Each structure stands twice: as C-alpha cells, then as structure tokens.
Amino acid sequence: MPRYALKIEYHGAPFVGWQRQKGQTSVQGAVETALARLERRDHAIAAAGRTDAGVHALGQVAHCDMESEWDPFRLSEALNYHLKPAPVAIVACAPVADDWHARFSALERQYLFRILMRRAPATHQDGLVWQVKHDLDVQAMRTAAAHLIGRHDFTTFRSTICQAESPVKTLDQLNVTRVETPQGPEVHFDVRARSFLHNQVRSFVGTLERVGAGSWPAGQVAEALARRNRAACGPVCPPQGLYLAHVTYDADPFR
C-alpha cells in the first residue's frame, strides 16, 4: 500500500486533541473520516505528536496508507475538500517509503507558545494566545529558562498522567523573545527537543511567566527542577497559546 506523509495545520479549539476518541471530535478523526471519503474503508493514521485539547498546529506531520497510487497534490486537494468546514488543512503531501513513520522517523519537534500582554480583551487573537494583563520581564525569563536547557530529570514539569517511561529528556532550545505586533506585545517561547513529556511545554511557560511577572526569582526555576517533584512546578498555562510548529526528519519528505 503506498504511504504518504501529510503536513497538517489546524486550529485546536473545536477538538479534544489530536488523538481519536470515541464519541469526541478529534483532529485524527477528522482526517481519517476525510480519507474514508476517498477510499471507503477504515483508516488509521499516525502522527509525529499528540496535541492536547485546544492546542494548535502549524506543522503537524502524519502518514497514511492508501490502496491506490495518488498524485500528492490531488490527494491533498481531495482531503481539504472533505475536511471542510473543520479548521484543518493539509498544507503538503508527499510519497514516502513503506517503513517511514511520522512519529518514529522524527528527529526533533519544535513548539511555539505565544503570550499576548495587554489589558484590552483579545479579539482577533482570541483562542490563539494566552493573554496576560501585565508586562513580563523577558530577560528574567531568559535567565530562568537557561536552567532548563540540557539533559535533566523533568519530573517537576511532567503531568501526573504522563505515560512516558522516563522523565529524563534532553531540551535543546528554549528561547524567549519579545515580539511587537499590531495587537500588542507578545512573548514567544520557541522550544525544541527530540521528544517531550505530557504538559512539559505548558509547565515551562506557566512557571516562566511567574518569573516574568516578578512572583518568582529566576533561581527558583533551578530549585524546582532539582526537586523532581510536581508540586514544585508553577501553574500550568492554558493550551490556547501552544502550537506544534515543526517536525524535523533526516530527509524532509516535503522538500
């Protein structure tokens, strides 16, 4: 069966997350339903990462197996037609080897988190950012974020329902940047690693926000990491500012 890689963009608000759940609206379910309109059978697709309810994607990657050979452009166009009106789009499609796997072939995942800093309610950005009404000290957050880079036991920043075998992960990048937008200043967190624990990025951002707001000294993040205790984590931030931005492979299938 020919295998195809799909690059997928979606707005996470209407969904319970990526993963198919019985009786619930999921991104995986939406794509599989669209595939079933093209080849009438049950489809099971695999993705590079499972995003939670309300989390968005700019560059989620999945693969599907088809019975017939499809022109990649035609396949993406047909899927987009059947995905309407769900806020899901196939932005690229490419044939891949039979043993290529969206999850297991991935070398790295990159997430973006956006905080909007303004008092007026968000309108155009509503549901796409975490809005705070106070200014944040970006330099203090950068200092605190540096304690998290590298290979650590991230138990403190791991959900209690995380199913990963080990809390030890290597964090390659956690950049904190202030970005001026027409809607107001934002803080962007660019986070990169081979893999992540459940709620790890949102735990990072919620904790670093406390540093930026002046409630935590930067050194308290290092202390929280060393405690290896979920109770030492700051508040977990809401999901709507989080995006799965990019997945890296040894050879980019969409190039």
pLDDT at residue 194 in the model:
97
Tens-binned pLDDT, residue by residue, of the chain (255 aa): 899 999 999 999 999 999 999 999 999 999 999 999 999 999 999 999 999 999 999 999 999 999 999 999 999 999 999 999 999 999 999 999 999 999 999 999 999 999 999 999 999 999 999 999 999 999 999 999 999 999 999 999 999 999 999 999 999 999 999 999 999 999 999 999 999 999 999 999 999 999 999 999 999 999 999 999 999 999 999 999 999 999 999 999 998
Strand, coil or helix: 137: coil
* Closest C-alpha to 234, from 253, 211, 214, 251: 211
Strand, coil or helix: 136: coil
pLDDT at residue 130 in the model:
98
Give 210's Cβ-side CA count (13 Å radius): 19
Q: How far apart are CA 114 and CA 116, in angstroms?
A: 7
Task: With beta carbons less than 8 A apart as the criterion, state whether 209 and 129 touch.
Answer: no
pLDDT at residue 184 in the model:
96
* Closest C-alpha to 185, from 145, 144, 136: 136
How many beta carbons lie within 10 A of that of residue 4, not counting itself? Answer: 24
pLDDT at residue 201 in the model:
98
pLDDT at residue 168 in the model:
98
Residue 52 designated active-site: yes
**28 and 145 part of one domain:** no
C-alpha distances (whole Å) from 46 to each of 54, 100, 164, 168, 202 are: 19, 11, 18, 24, 23
pLDDT at residue 79 in the model:
98
Q: The CATH number of the domain where 26 resides is what?
A: 3.30.70.580
pLDDT at residue 102 in the model:
98
**41 and 88 part of one domain:** yes
pLDDT at residue 20 in the model:
94
What is the DSSP code string of 52-118? BTT-EEEEEEEEEE-SS---HHHHHHHHHHHHTTSSEEEEEEEEE-TT--TTTTEEEEEEEEEEEE-
Domain end: 64, 82, 104, which one? 104
Q: The CATH number of the domain where 205 resides is what?
A: 3.30.70.660
Task: Examine residue 121 and say whether the peptide bond preceding it is cis (omega within 30 degrees of 0).
Answer: no
What tokens were used for 124? 């155009």
* Closest C-alpha to 48, from 3, 115, 2, 107: 107
Task: With beta carbons less than 8 A apart as the criterion, state whether 13 and 96 touch.
Answer: no
Domain end: 39, 71, 104, which one? 104
pLDDT at residue 115 in the model:
98
How many beta carbons lie within 10 A of that of residue 26, not counting itself? Answer: 20
Task: Name the pTM for this structure.
Answer: 0.96
**96 and 125 part of one domain:** no
**3-class DSSP string for 156-170:** HHCCCCCCCCCCEEE
Name the DSSP letter for residue 246.
E
Q: Which entry of 42, 52, 65, 71 is annotated as an active-site residue?
A: 52
What tokens were used for 48? 């590079």
Q: Please give the tally of structural domains in the chain.
A: 2
Domain end: 80, 104, 128, which one? 104
Asked, for residue 254, whether it belongs to a domain, the answer is: no
Domain of residue 153 covers 107-246
